[in-house]
Amino acid sequence: RINGARLWAALMELAKIGATAKGGVKRLALTDLDKQGRDLVVGWGREAGLSISIDQIGNVFMRRDGSDHTLAPVVTGSHIDTQPTGGKFDGNYGVLAGLEVVRTLNERNITTLAPIEVAFWTNEEGSRFVPVMMGSGVFCGAFSLETAYAATDTEGKSVGDELARIGYRGEQVPGRHPIGAYFETHIEQGPVLEDAGKVIGVVPAVMGLSWYDCVVSGMEAHAGPTPMGLRKDALQVATRIMQEVVAIAKRYPPYGRGTVGMVQVFPNSRNVIPGEVKFSIDLRNVNEALLNTMHEDMLAYIDQTRRDSGLAIGIERVSHYPPCPFHPECIDAVRRATAKLGYSSMDVVSGAGHDAIYAARLAPAGMIFIPCKDGISHNEIEDAQPGHLEAGCNVLLHAMLERAGV
């Protein structure tokens, strides 16, 4: 069994970097704070005797050798970047749970057959740079290193430059690093486990996702003298689409999701009719056919709105991954570990994307969820119970040991 107090202490220590007044964390990908967080975790890895390698997109792998050098490593990991108003556990838990597994194995002098690795992937959150889950996406070839390097934040700073600036643009070619199996522990980020009173979520699949940038172009004009009938108000047209995004998601329950999270209005002055509105659209479903139908519904609505309003409306898909079912062997390894340890459990479909879905393209993969308070994440008040964090980490230990062999 792992040491829950030590795991908790590591989580609280890492959460100090970028800590916000409201008890959350703001540690956006490839900022100075991300560098501080990375340095802290890498330091802990070295202290635990792990050998460190960094690839060209800044993914970090920390390796504990096994006895059989012909075997590919059993990898666990997640990310340490956060949302602008993020919490202490999202991502960080998956990385530090891996570190705690290693510390436990060290303490017990357990040598596995296959090597054990703890990874953290670059820019999982996708808040500062798109595509989301960038490090694991490049690693599995979902998109190219060049695409990722060229991605810029709202200030025009690029991933390539920012990686170099913080000293995490490594040498290793992404994906050249073999993986035997992959596990990831994570807070659920939804209310299902808490509502059901269960400790462990076994994750059969992750919802597919499509992200879009939508731009409505009208005509800036003065809010006073311009008669209502002569306006080309970009915001009035954009808000109709924003409402439809939610209506579409509600048409495809229980796993349809539709969200507009980001909006920019130009010129954003009280007495100017908006000339342009840019906003993001996030559509999800665990059923690929339904996700495609949602996509079609949205494009049809935008076509209709373009005709009705006479305004120009641009729509571009900027990120996409299909629903990802996990590997039966890994799902079963999680189930067996949970049963062996005597934790209550249930299946929980993941609405959030995780690096595990990209790792799953290269090796058998699975995930372990634990409850989070009120199902809330991507919020500074995100919270999780020490007992649940410990339980998830114990399940991880046993699932990894089963895969790696002792």
Ligand X SMILES: NC(=O)NCCC(=O)O
Beta bridge partners of 53: 61
Q: Which of 83, 116, 82, 123 is nearest to 100 (CA)?
A: 116
Task: Indicate which single residue of 209, 391, 393, 401 sits in contact with a copy of itself (rule: CB under 8 A).
Answer: 209
Answer for the pair 312, 306: CB distance below 8 angstroms, yes or no.
yes
- 156 interacts with a copy of itself by CB under 8 A: no
- 249 interacts with a copy of itself by CB under 8 A: yes
Give the shortest CB-307-to-ligand X separation in angstroms: 32
Task: Indicate which single residue of 36, 217, 259, 385 sits in contact with a copy of itself (rule: CB under 8 A).
Answer: 259
- 72 interacts with a copy of itself by CB under 8 A: no
**374: its two tokens:** 């009120």
- 211 interacts with a copy of itself by CB under 8 A: yes
Q: Which does 190 bind (CB under 5 to 8 A by kind): a copy of itself, ligand X, none?
A: a copy of itself
Task: Indicate which single residue of 157, 343, 375, 383 sits in contact with a copy of itself (rule: CB under 8 A).
Answer: 375
Q: What HEC string does 321-377 produce?
A: ECCEECCHHHHHHHHHHHHHHCCCEEECCECCCCHHHHHCCCCCEEEEEECCHHHCC
- 130 interacts with a copy of itself by CB under 8 A: yes
- What stretch of H or E contains 117? strand 116-120
> What whole-number distance in Å separates Cα of residue 329 and Cα of residue 173?
28
Answer for the pair 52, 42: CB distance below 8 angstroms, yes or no.
yes
Give the shortest CB-92-to-ligand X separation in angstroms: 11
- 317 interacts with a copy of itself by CB under 8 A: no
- 21 interacts with a copy of itself by CB under 8 A: no
* 72 or 266: CB nearest ligand X: 266
Report the amino acid identity of residue 34: D
Q: Which residues bind ligand X (CB under 6 A)?
A: 90, 124-126, 132, 222-224, 271, 352-354
Q: Cα–Cα distances in Å, from 336 out to 6, 324, 345, 396? A: 25, 21, 11, 11
x/- mask, a copy of itself, residues 262-281, rule CB under 8 A, reads xx-xxxxxxxxxxx----x-
**289: its two tokens:** 């056919």
- 152 interacts with a copy of itself by CB under 8 A: no
Question: Residue 76: helix, strand or coil by DSSP?
Answer: strand
Q: Which does 398 bind (CB under 5 to 8 A by kind): a copy of itself, ligand X, none?
A: none
Answer for the pair 115, 73: CB distance below 8 angstroms, yes or no.
yes
Q: Which does 275 bind (CB under 5 to 8 A by kind): ligand X, a copy of itself, none?
A: a copy of itself
* 51 or 243: CB nearest a copy of itself: 243
* 154 or 271: CB nearest ligand X: 271
Site for a copy of itself in 215-234 (CB under 8 A): 219-228, 230, 233
Q: What angle, 0 to 180 degrees and rounded to 10, lies between the N-to-C axes of helices 234-251 and 288-309? A: 150
- Residues with Cβ < 8 Å from 304, sequence gap 6 or more? none
Residues near a copy of itself (CB under 8 A): 83-85, 125-127, 130, 132, 188-192, 207, 209, 211, 219-228, 230, 233, 235-236, 239-240, 242-243, 246, 249-250, 253-254, 256-263, 265-275, 280, 282, 284, 350-353, 375-379
